[in-house]
Every structure is written in structure tokens, then in C-alpha cells.
Amino acid sequence: MLELIWLLPAFPLLGFLALVLTGGRLPMQIAGPIGAGSIGLSFAVAALVASEFLNSGLESFTYEAWVWMSVGGFNPGFTFYLDGLSMVMMLIITGVGFLIHLYATGYMSDDPSFARFFSYMNLFVSAMLMLVLGDNLVLLYLGWEGVGLCSYLLIGFWYTNPTNGYAARKAFVVTRVGDTSMAIGLFLLFAQLGTLNIQDMLHAAEMQWSVGSGFAVAASLLLLGGAVGKSAQLPLQTWLPDAMAGPTPISALIHAAPMVTAGVYLIARTHPLFEMAPSVQLLVALIGLVTLLLSGFTAMTQSDIKRILAYSTVSQIGYMFLGLGVGAWSAAIFHLMTHAFFKALLFLASGTVILSLHHEQNIFKMGGLRKALPVSFFSFLIGSLALTAFPFTSGYFSKDEILLGALELEGVGFWFWLGGVVGAFFTGIYTFRLFFIVFFGDSHAEHPPGKEVGGWHMNGPLILLMTLALAGGFIHVPLDDVFSHGEGYGEHHVSGLIHGIMIAVPLLGIAVSYLFFMSKTFSVDKLMASALAKKLHAFWFGGWGFDTLYNAVLVRPFLYLARVNRKDIVDSFYALVVTVSQAANGLIVKSQTGSLRWYALTVAGGLVVMVSLGATL
């Protein structure tokens, strides 16, 4: 039964091929079932494999489909490696992915490029599964680049609008920076350890390198670069908010659930490497902390419903990085899972809102929608509660695990914990700011919403995700074998005060949000009156000026160089070759007079020359 694991990426790939080989011309009634059905089959197989795996009691299972290439001692294969970590990931990807696909069959039903959309989605899921199931870093890298490509294609899905194309290119280029760093990391690992099989590589690293040695630091730093790019963490976080240009199911599929958490997966997968480089691991935590705080501020100022969710995604992945950085590995993966539930829920519900309001994304042009859009209202309510870690929702358990993990770290641990708690406060504010503005108060809609769009294939996934977002915290994630350092669940012994603070702070955030945006006890306008506040608002709205900074430091100089070097210096050498050939051609062309008699003369003259040469020699 476990051998069936190769079917997991195969089904979506087949779906992709079926959709793409028909040139995207399949009618919706066929393309929809193919697109969503392939993922559904994948999920069925994943569930089978997972239950079999859990019953078997194996620590890990490897299945080699075939050898990819074989060069000397280097022979990576299409080999799938199943353990607790990849099992959790594959269930999230196929399960949440299936719900999103199902939702998308409704969401995209009036789009002319329906089949093209599903072909990209299927390719994405296939690549993502290869990423998490690959037993060697080469296969992982194949999936890594595959999801990058699909993310590019899907962000720019509505390519007739140039800004979407710009957002797609930005996402591609920025993540490419991280990918390059990761590729160099792979080269380094292979050069030093002679293998890219993840488990062998980790064993070899533990044998050959000491803790804190230069190679361990360099390798983990380079891998971290890749993770930071893919997971939209500081300093490569700028692409994710712009990536919201794609259709909303994409935002749910790629930019909430699986893809952006690939970086978290990578670090968790290679965690022994990071444990051997404590300084880098601390850097991971620091990156997570700074990112979650910065994007928390930014999310509070945004007005686009999807951008708010995007910044909250960045911030939640910051929590995961914080968890990874403090060594709370399974807590980070746990948060990854619960985040996949509630963030997919929020994104899909926002899709319903956007579609019901005729593609309106500005929250200040919404308002009072709770009667008109009941399903979205409850989805948002539950999703927001889980996101703010309201007690006993899924987000509460996972975020608590991370923060308690941070607290256990000696020395700086307390500060990480404090930062995380402050971040949770902001999460409460921005999440419920969105919630109150959209669903309560007076309506500011330009086009009053008609009936809530929906149907079983859009509402069904929402209801399922609501259940998961509520109860997902009670799922036990079988990661104890993977992270064998005994930081399981419920082992934290901290005072009731700490627990109280962690429960109270998000509620405090919600309360602040309530006072500002619901009861209007405090006025935002008053707060915004001073010049300083305006400046701060503009600064945070622009995402702490990172885009401006990168434009000034990287993009402008590059464009300047490109303009200066318009007549490519290197190219001038080849241009010289062309010029010389053309001149020679001009000379020789003169001899081609077209006159028959001239040709005859040259033949005769040549003959004379040859003969006389022959006679004299």
C-alpha cells in the first residue's frame, strides 16, 4: 500500500497534462472534474498511505520510483521519503489543496481561461508534492522551482492587465534571489559531503562537522536564504503582498497554505544542520520575530482585503520561523498546519466577498455585509478567531506552543516571547479591524451586493475549513520521531501568569479593534490627525519602505547600468565579427557581375594560371 505513494504527484501531473495537451480548450464541465478530481484522488491516496504508515509503526519509508540520473557516485532518483513531517505536509497539500480546487471550480466558473487555470493549479500541486516527498535535495529543488514557476504563472494569470504581469515578474525575480542562494547551498553540501540524499547528508554532516563550524554555518545560511525567499520573510518579503494580483483561490493555495510554507518545511527538514549552526538558528528566530512585527504594523494600515491577509500571512510565517529558530520544530509545523486551515478559510471567504461585490477589494467600500453574506461572515468570524489565537481555536494551540518554546530558550528567549506576544496583540487588532469594517457598520458599497455567490462547491469547502480551523488544534501531529529531541506537547511548565498573558493579549487586541472600528469610542481620524501619525501611516502602508529602498538600491542602479550599457560592451565584439563579414561580403559581391562572358574569362584565366604554374614547377 505504501508503494502507492508515487501516485500522489502523478495524479495532478496527469491532470495537468490532460488539461494542457488539449490546449486549454476543454469545456468547463470536463476541465473542472479533471482539475479538482485529480487532487481529490491524490488526497484519497494520501489518506490511504498515511493511515497505512501510521499503523505500520515504521519510522520512515522510502520508495524509489526510478533513478533520475547517475553520474559517478551522484545518483539522485525520483525517490519518495515518507515520515511524520512529509506525511503532515502531503496531507495538508492534498487536503487543503482539494478544498481550494473545489472552491475554484465555482469561483472561476465565468472565466474564459478556466482550463488553463486548472492546468497551472494541478502542476503546482504536483510540484509541491515532489518538494515535500523528495528524499534528496535535487528532487526537492525540482519541486521548489516548479512551485516557483507555477506561482509566476498564476500570479500573472490575468495577464492582460500589465500590473499583474509586473507582480508576477516581481515574485519570480525576488524568489529567484533566494533560490540562487539555495542552489549554492546545495553545491556546497554536495562538494563537502558528497551526497544530496537528505538523510545521508544530515548524518554525514553530523559526522564531519562540529557544532558551529564554518561549513555548517555557511550551508545553513545559504539554505536559509532559499527559505527566506520562498516564505516571504525579511528581507525578501516584498513579493508576497503584490502577489495578490492573482485570482483569490491562488492566494489561498499558493500564498497562504502550501507554497510559502515551503521555506518552513525546508528548515524543518534540514533541522540537524541548523542545530549545528546555533548562530544561524538564532538568526532564523530573529528574522521571524522582526518579520512578524513589521508585517503586523503594515497589515494594520492596509485597505485592500487581500493585502491585509497577505501581510498577516507574512506575519504568521514569521511565527513559524520564530518557532524553528528557538528549536520548537514540531510547534512550527503544527502552526503551519493550523495556519493552512484558517488562512485558506480566510482567503476563500474573502474570495466570496470579492466576487459578491463585483471584484471590489477595498474594505472601506464594503461594510455591513453580515446579513448579505452569512457564509462569508461566519467563515471570517471563525478564521479571524483562529488567526488571533482565540482560546481553543486551532491557532491558539499552535501559537502557544511556539511562544512557550521561545520562552524555554535561555537568555534571549524571553525577548522572543515578548515580541511574539506583542505580535499577537497586533494580530488581534488588524484581523478584527478587517472583520468589523467589512461586516459591520454602514454599507459603503458602490454596487450593493446581490445574492451571496456560492453553491455547494464553494460553501462546502468553507464549512469544512471552518470545522478544521476550529478543531484543528486537537489534531495530534505525529512528529516525535522526526524531531527526536523530545520537545513534544504539554511538557511546558510555566506559571499561570504567562498563560494568562498569552490568552489575554489577543483578546486585548480584539477589544482595541472593537473600540476603534465597531463602537467608535475612539476615532481613527483623531489618531491620524497629527503629521507624525500621517507619516507613520504612509511609511507602514508602504511596507516599511522596503519597496522604495530596493528600488533605490537595486532596481534603479540596475536600470541605469542597463541604459548606459544599451550597446552591450560584450556584444560589440560579436558585432565586429558581423561587420567584418559584411565588408568581405561586399568585396566578393563585386566579382559576381552576372555577366557570362566575364565568368568565362575568369575560368580561362584561372586555367592559364594553373597550367603555367604546373609548367614552371
Partner 1 sequence: METIPVEHGFVLAGILFCLGLIGVLTRRNVVFVLMSLEIMLNASGLAFIVAAARWGHAEGQVMFLMILTLAAAEVAVGLGLIIQMFRRFQTVDINVLSEMKG
The site for partner 1 (CB under 8 A) is made up of 588-597, 600-601, 604
C-beta of 572 vs 612, nearer to partner 1: 612
The CB-of-28 to partner 1 minimum distance in angstroms stands at 60
Looking at residue 369, its amino acid is L
Whole-angstrom Cα distance, residue 55 to residue 526? 61
Q: 563 or 590, CB closer to partner 1?
A: 590
Alpha carbon separation from 30 to 20, 26, 113, 118, 338 (Å, rounded): 13, 6, 13, 11, 33
Give whichever of 533 and 601 is closer to partner 1, judged by the CB atom: 601
C-beta of 20: minimal distance to partner 1 in Å?
49
In whole angstroms, give the CA distance from residue 75 to residue 141.
Answer: 15
Name the residue nearer to partner 1 (CB basis): 570 or 596: 596
Asked whether the bond before 33 is cis by omega within 30 degrees of 0, the reply is no
Instruction: Please answer whether residues 178 and 226 qualify as being in contact, where contact means their C-beta atoms are separated by less than 8 angstroms.
Output: yes
Q: How far is the CB of 554 from partner 1 (least distance, A)?
A: 51
The answer to whether 283 and 216 are in contact (CB under 8 A) is no
Whether 125 contacts 254, CB under 8 Å: no
Nearest CB to partner 1, comparing residues 208 and 602 = 602
* Those residues with Cβ within 8 angstroms of residue 135's Cβ, 6 or more apart along the chain or in another chain: 62, 79, 80, 81, 197, 198, 199
Place of cell 497589515: 299
Smallest gap, in angstroms, from Cβ of residue 584 to partner 1? 13
Nearer to partner 1, 569 or 589 (CB): 589
CB closer to partner 1 out of 569 and 596: 596
Q: Between 411 and 594, whose beta carbon lies closer to partner 1? A: 594
Nearer to partner 1, 1 or 584 (CB): 584
Helix axes 305-325 and 278-301, enclosed angle (nearest 10): 160
Q: How far apart are CA 427 and CA 512, in angstroms?
A: 11
Q: Measured between alpha carbons, how far is 429 from 303 in angstroms, rounded to an integer?
A: 14
| Total Cβ atoms within 10 A of residue 485 | 12
Q: At what angle do helices 114-133 and 262-269 cross, to 10 degrees?
A: 10
Separation of alpha carbons 315 and 387, rounded Å: 11
In whole angstroms, the minimum distance from the beta carbon of 612 to partner 1 comes to 14
In the bound complex, what is the minimum distance in angstroms from residue 610's beta carbon to partner 1? Answer: 15
Sign, CA dihedral 327-333-338-344, equals: positive
Block residue for cell numbers 507554497 = 259
Tell me how far, at minimum, the Cβ of 596 lies from partner 1, in Å.
Answer: 5
Q: Whose Cβ is closer to partner 1: residue 570's or residue 615's?
A: 615
Residue 74 phi, psi dihedral angles, 5° rounding: -100, 105
Closest CB 585 distance from partner 1, rounded Å: 9
Least Å from the CB of residue 577 to partner 1:
21
Nearer to partner 1 by Cβ, of 55 and 585: the residue is 585
Nearest CB to partner 1, comparing residues 27 and 586 = 586
The number of residues in the chain equals: 617
What are the distances in angstroms from CA 533 to CA 106, 366, 510, 538? 42, 25, 22, 9
Least gap, CB of 576 to partner 1 (angstroms): 23
- The answer to whether 151 and 179 are in contact (CB under 8 A) is no
User: Grid coordinates in use for 181?
Assistant: 542562494
Task: Tell me if 498 sits within 8 A of 424, measured CB to CB.
Answer: no
Q: Are 169 and 109 in contact (CB under 8 A)?
A: no
Hey, which residues does 81 pair with through a beta bridge? Answer: 62
Indicate the residue among 411 and 586 with the shorter CB distance to partner 1. 586
Tell me how many helices (H) and strands (E) the chain has: 26, 2
